Amino acid sequence: NAGVTQTPKFQVLKTGQSMTLQCAQDMNHNSMYWYRQDPGMGLRLIYYSASEGTTDKGEVPNGYNVSRLNKREFSLRLESAAPSQTSVYFCASSDGPGGQETQYFGPGTRLLVL
Amino acid sequence: SQKIEQNSEALNIQEGKTATLTCNYTNYSPAYLQWYRQDPGRGPVFLLLIRENEKEKRKERLKVTFDTTLKQSLFHITASQPADSATYLCALDGSNAGNMLTFGGGTRLMVKP
């Protein structure tokens, strides 16, 4: 099992460009998450999908959109990238929603917006 | 709003000693607390979960305590090894809608041989 996979691993964008970060999990998990990690800020939740067909905003959703394509895949889209979105993005999944569930993380996507 | 505090300064200890990391929280009463390990350039990996009615939990050389009165969790690694060097994150189930996990900023542990 690959667990949680993310593509791309690294991306450089110019301000105003758009891109989609892809995430897939092969653990048959119901819930999926997108986080960003900045130095000294810890992991901050952008969006989550408690189950297939649902998505909800997290702590820092502005400037992002998500799509739960099916049970396996959860994508994050930046419509018009800004330098403030330079960060490391992690996708995670868990069997169910909520803080009692263990989350499994992907390797991350490092995004630089110039 | 809820706040989670972990020592942002790195903790340096000698191999074989016990490492103790602290996670404090305010304005909040979580039902669950989790600890994760993160190595440079990689995603966090789950270590332990402790519930509010559990005072202590152990797994091999790891021990976690959860004091809901002090609003604090301590994470101990006994007989530490250089391979234990990493950043350790605590996470609490959130007071937000959906009770999603909220993560602390993490503490970097350096174990020197």
Query: Using CA atoms in the order B61, B67, B73, B75, what is the torsion angle rounded to 10 degrees?
Result: -10
Is A41 an 8 Å CB contact of chain B? yes
**Is B66 at the interface with chain A, CB within 8 A?**
no
Indicate yes or no: CB of A50 within 8 angstroms of CB of B101. Answer: no
Contact A99 B94 (CB under 8 A): yes
CA distance A80 to A15: 7
Question: pLDDT tens digit string along A81-101?
Answer: 999 999 999 999 999 888 888
Q: Is there a contact between A98 and B103 if contact means CB atoms under 8 Å apart?
A: no
Restricting to A residues 68-97, those with a Cβ less than 8 Å away from any Cβ of B are: 90, 92, 97
Bridge partner residues of B49 (DSSP): B34
> Taking Cα atoms as reference points, which of A109, A112, A113 lies closest to residue A46?
A109
A5 touches chain B (CB under 8 A): no
- CB spacing of A42 vs B106 below 8 angstroms: yes
Strands A10-13 and A109-113: parallel
CB-based contact A40 B96, cutoff 8 Å: no
Residue B107 CB-half CA count within 13 A: 24
Chain B CA closest to residue A91: B43
Are A89 and A109 in contact by the 8 Å Cβ rule? The answer is: yes
Q: Kindly give the confidence (pLDDT) of every residue in chain B, 113 residues in length, as a single tens digit, with 9 standing for 90 and above.
A: 778 999 888 999 999 999 999 999 988 888 899 999 999 999 999 999 999 899 899 999 999 999 999 999 999 999 999 999 999 999 998 666 567 889 999 999 999 99
